Structure 1
Amino acid sequence: MIVPAHLDGAKVIMYVDNDVNRPIAKMLYEEDNGSSKEIIITGLALAKYDNSNNYYLFLCDKNWEVYQDFDMGSIEESLHSSIASFELNNSDWKYV
């Protein structure tokens, strides 16, 4: 699936291919009604809001729906964190 230009209003700068055959992580997501479901994270994106100096690491499902985001101080911090947390390589990240 093609990476969107924006996620949650932030401009996507870099991404990891969203491949359902290569799950990155699993997480439990709590619905508004209190129930929870397991989400398979298959895509990551690094994005920036126009009014912010920080970068955000987005964890997404196969449809690029955001389920978690992390506020990061820099691109380098985002890449380092994702590589350490999700067993990725620098070469997994691509610029939009």
Structure 2
Amino acid sequence: MIPDELDGAKVIKYTSNTLSNKFGTVRIINEQKETIDEIPITAKAICKYEGSNEYYLFSCDLKWEVIGDFDCDSLKEAMEIAKNSNNIKFEDWITK
């Protein structure tokens, strides 16, 4: 179950969280710039910090840990970026 907040930001919308989502991976690299691990992105969430005008498109792992983010000027922009980069359709979003 998704928490109400991720990294202190209120969750507005989110996708299902499953290994079958093909949202890519986040590579963990060492000081020699070698990949030492890859974490699958299993969910996306759009969040907003209190007092901020920006929205954040978070990439999450199976435990809803944020492993990447992208700041957006609007909810619509965040959804468009998710659609263009991960083929997340409007109907795939769940409203919190």
Q: What percentage of aligned pairs have identical amino acids?
A: 38
Q: Which residue of 1 aligns with 2:56?
A: 56
* Counterpart amino acid of residue 63 in structure 2: N
Counterpart contact for 1:41–1:59, Cα < 8 Å: yes
SS at match of 1:11: strand
TM-score by length of 1: 0.89
Q: Which residue of 2 aligns with 1:3?
A: 2
Q: Are residues 67 and 81 of structure 1, via their aligned partners in 2, closer, same or farther at CA, if it must alter by over 3 Å?
A: same
**Which aligned runs of 4 or more in structure 1 are off by greater than 2 angstroms?**
29-32
1:67 CA drift (Å): 0.6
1:31 CA drift (Å): 6.5
Equivalent positions of 1:16-31 (< 5 A) are: 16-30=15-29
Q: Provide the C-alpha distance between the structure 2 equivalents of 1:53 and 1:4, rounded to a whole number of angstroms.
A: 21
1:74 aligns with 2:61: no
Deviates more, 1:57-66 or 1:20-29: 20-29
Q: Which residue of 1 aligns with 2:86?
A: 86
Q: Provide the C-alpha distance between the structure 1 equivalents of 2:36 and 2:82, rounded to a whole number of angstroms.
A: 25
Please list the CA deviations of residues 50-83 of structure 1 after superposition, one character each: whole Å capped at 9, or x if unmatched: 0211000000011111110111000000000000
Unaligned runs of 5+ in 1: none
Q: Provide the C-alpha distance between the structure 2 equivalents of 1:55 and 1:65, rounded to a whole number of angstroms.
A: 17
TM-score by length of 2: 0.89
Q: Provide the C-alpha distance between the structure 1 equivalents of 2:29 and 2:68, rounded to a whole number of angstroms.
A: 12
Q: Which residue of 2 aligns with 1:65?
A: 65
